[in-house]
Structure 1
Amino acid sequence: MRRLAVVACALLAAGCASGARATLGPQEIGAVAALADQPDDAPRVAVVRSATVAKAPVRIAFGGDVHGEAPIRQLLDRGQNPLDGVQGAFADADIVMVNLETAVTTVGVALDHEFIFNAPTSLLPALRAGGVDVVNLGNNHSTDDGTAGLLETIDRATAAGLTVVGAGRNSDDTYTAKVIDVRGVRIGFVGFDRNLPFDAPVATATGPGQADGRNAQFAASVVRKAREIADAVVVMVHTGVERASCPTASDVAFFDALLDAGAAIVVGNHPHVLQAIVARDSKLLMYSNGNFVFYPTSDDQRKTGVLTVGIDRQGKVVGHDFAPAVIDSQGRPQLIGGSARERALSDLAALTPGAGQC
């Protein structure tokens, strides 16, 4: 992971059906968990990188949902990094982005929600040390501890060296593309939440909150503004139906609208399972990148991976790779190889719209 310069850009924007899939067997998942529990010097899985991505001027890697609940909290308390098992996929990335699906606060007051996520403050420096550059707070858990908790989360993430999108101190901050310059190629990042909790604050001209993605026309206008000052625009969107392997028709239309507005890459999250990767006209979308650093649940929700996208100097997508991983018993993503890798890639390909399952 290379250290990069973040350019502060003054850009103000005006503004499933389920599909059945084959699953990895318990023995394969257990084998990955066992590998994760070995010492730090245990052998790691090599990442298969395509020539087009390896030679791309800019490489951007994406992980899915990240929080700090048990058992991840205990892992952090022991001084371990939950991202150790995916360093092979992060090593040659210029920028790494994940969805930070939690508040990180000591002062916020928990809202009356069924699930409240509030990670230990040690999560943020661990993410930065693990290679993460950009976090999306446009999701249904970043405001679990109210507005004060959101503001502290933004402040702590920024202090840890992370670039924050998807939420901000006001609408200017929230809908302003955060631009990272990689050897002269300007990559603009924005985030949206389409599954806003009923009591989640939405950013206003004078108040903090999330980036509201419920209006496709408004979201497209944000992307068009970002495209004016960036060679490529990357959007992370929190949307979809939990545990559904196929995107909804509404989400397909929303993602298409962002691509048409000028986005080069659109990555979704929230379903907690993987959904299809689709390449179109030198652009790329992934409807859901699943969980990433997350407590282990069902086999499908343990399936994860790192999407790496190559960008040329004109801001066009020149290729992509997906490195499959499985979340172990400690909530850590661990890269997989061999037949398990091939099966995971085959399962993912089967989710492509029109391929039969979706």
Structure 2
Amino acid sequence: MKTTIKLVCLILLLTCLGACAAGADCPPEPQPETIRAETPADEFDDEEVTIVMVGDLLMHRLVQESGKAPDGSYDFSHLFTCVRDEISSADIAIINQETPLAGEGLGLSGYPMFNAPQQVADAVAEAGFDVVLQATNHTLDRGEEGVRICREYWAEYYPNVRIVGTALTEQEASKICIVERSGLRVAVLNYTYGTNGISPPAGMPYIVSLLDEEKVRADTARARELADFVVICPHWGAEYLHEPSEEQKHWCRIFLECGADLVIGTHPHVIQPVKWFSRDDGHKMLVYFSLGNFVNSTAERGAGVCSRMLGGMAKITIEKDEEGIVTIKDACVVPLVTHLTGGYAGITVYPFSDYSEALAVANSFVRERDPLFSYAYCRDLFTDVFGEFLPQAEPPGF
């Protein structure tokens, strides 16, 4: 989102310069996708783009209720209060919309067949997200109508936010999502392993993007032609396991063969490791196997359930050098904690660097669901899973 500020400044500068020339007409306002700054070769600075992504926006009933004000209106901005600056300052910010946001007309519900208020989309957009992933195992929880209502809401109110992973027409499904920032074109692809046994509507096999090898290879080949950098976001793996499954490893091999540069996974609802992979020809691919939940409030109880309250924000800086080669310059994971206090606006997400022993004790999850939850538990799990990919400026307690 910070690109917008740069563009506005550029437009104002051009307008002022044009006004100095007698009789000069004001040029039409340039479109963001076509603005390019020419830099002399002897003054070349590496072009850089920062990408961030968070995991599953899992709208359990308690999360939905946290956004309902006493007057009956909905506002979910509290979910993003403590991470808003990190999101809005990124060049490209991505979130996984785990559940339908089809609104009260189709009936609000939590697990196992989700449907959340459309106002969740308002909060996501206002937080600064540029790309919303919709290919999950819950995509069809409200059928074709749920997908349609959700996509139409995004298109009407937030047309600049890119929706990936669902489609209402075959033509829509064939498009490759390309986001251009600072002269770099980044492709974002999104797939899910399945839809919990719910079949796509008759005649609409394209409504949700499925992990199909032929499709993945074809899409990635087209993305490589159109973009400088290819990101694949698969909804994959086994729930509640901190190690990648054989299925995930299988797909990693395919993604690497296809030439993907970055893979960021969702679905297991717990965090998993980050690893580099490379081909014999030297091509490298970074994989975040699972970012866990961004927001969560499971009704389940027992030892270990608290691991679902921990997530990660992938943070990657890519750069293009003067030879036109795009590589990953820096990569880390910002640890996140879902904090519950109950009531209206009683759920928010903290970077662990801003969390504390006192907040951990005050988290109602400790009292109600899993007594194992503690500041030390969070610290140790983040260290065990993310290891060297934790931010260099580590928070106190690591």
- Fold conserved between structures, TM > 0.5: yes
Which runs of 5 or more structure 2 residues have no equivalent in the other structure? 5-30, 35-45, 70-74, 278-282, 341-345, 355-374, 390-398
CA contact (8 A) 1:7 1:179 kept: no
Question: Does 2:207 align with 1:209?
Answer: yes
Deviation, structure 1 residue 245? 1.0
Q: Provide the identity percentage.
A: 22
TM-superposed deviation, 1:282:
4.0
Q: For residues 306 and 221 of structure 1, do their structure 2 counterparts lie closer, same or farther at Cα, with a shift above 3 Å needed?
A: same
1:255 aligns with 2:252: yes
| Number of residue equivalences | 304
1:100-249 to 2 correspondence within 5 Å? 100-106=97-103, 115-161=112-158, 162-201=161-200, 209-213=207-211, 215-249=212-246
Q: Distance in 2 between matches of 1:203 and 1:84?
A: 41
State whether residues 7 and 178 of structure 1, in contact with CA within 8 Å, keep that contact through their aligned partners in structure 2. no
Contact kept, 8 Å, 1:189 with 1:233, in 2: the verdict is yes
Listed one character per residue, the Cα deviations across residues 94-143 of structure 1 (whole Å, up to 9, x for unaligned) are 11111101111148757x99611111111001001111111111101121
Q: Which has the larger radius of gyration?
A: 2
Cα distance in structure 1, aligned partners of 2:202 and 2:228: 26
Change beyond 3 A, Cα 1:93–1:182? same
Q: Distance in 2 between matches of 1:174 and 1:158?
A: 15
- What is the SS of the residue equivalent to 1:256? helix
Change over 3 Å in CA distance of 1:66–1:113 after alignment to 2: closer
C-alpha separation in 2, matches of 1:305 and 1:190: 20
| Shift, 1:159, TM fit | 2.9
Which moves more between the two structures, 252-261 or 267-276?
Answer: 252-261
Matched, 1:267 2:264: yes
Counterpart of 1:2 in structure 2 is 2
CA contact (8 A) 2:47 2:184 kept: no
SS in 2 for 1:312: strand
CA distance in 2, matches of 1:260, 1:70: 41
Rounded Cα–Cα distance in structure 1 between residues aligned with 2:112 and 2:49: 37
AA of the residue aligned to 2:353: G
Letter paired with 2:57: V
Aligned to 2:43: none
38, 48, 54: which one aligns with 1:57: 48
**Is the 1:108–1:147 Cα contact (8 Å) retained in structure 2?**
no
1:291 matched to which residue of 2? 293
Write the distance in 2 (CA, Å) between the matches of 1:103 and 1:261.
30
- For residues 307 and 210 of structure 1, the distance between their equivalents in structure 2, rounded to whole angstroms, comes to 24
Preserved contact between residue 104 and residue 117 of structure 2 (Cα < 8 Å): no
Aligned match of 1:336: 352
Consecutive unaligned residues of structure 1, counting only runs of 5 or more, are 9-54, 353-358
- After superposition, give the CA deviation of every residue in 1:276-311 in whole Å (9 maximum; x if it has no partner): 111234431111111102225621101112111111
Which AA in structure 2 matches 1:153? C
Distance 2:202 2:293 in 1: 26
Shift in Å at residue 343 of structure 1? 3.5
- Of 369, 379, 385, the residue aligned with 1:348 is 385
- The whole-number CA distance in structure 2 between the counterparts of 1:102 and 1:268 is 16
Partner of 2:331: 320
Q: Distance between the aligned counterparts of 1:75 and 1:93, measured in 2?
A: 27
Q: Give the distance between the partners of 1:143 and 1:174, measured in 2 at CA.
A: 16
Richer in helix (by share): 2
Tell me if structure 2 keeps the 8 A contact 1:269–1:289. yes
Per-residue displacement from partner, 1:64-123 (whole Å, max 9, x unpaired)? 00133333223323435111121243243111111101111148757x996111111110
Note closer, same or farther for the CA distance 1:327–1:210 as it changes in structure 2 (3 Å cut). same
Q: Rate the CA distance shift 1:113–1:80 in 2: closer, same or farther, 3 A.
A: closer
Alpha-carbon deviation of 1:158? 2.7
Over aligned residues, Cα RMSD in angstroms? 3.0
> Aligned residue for 2:12?
none
Q: Structure 1 residues 172, 315: CA separation in 2 closer, same or farther (over 3 Å shift)?
A: farther
Change (3 A) 1:199 1:7: farther
297-306 or 193-202: bigger deviation: 193-202
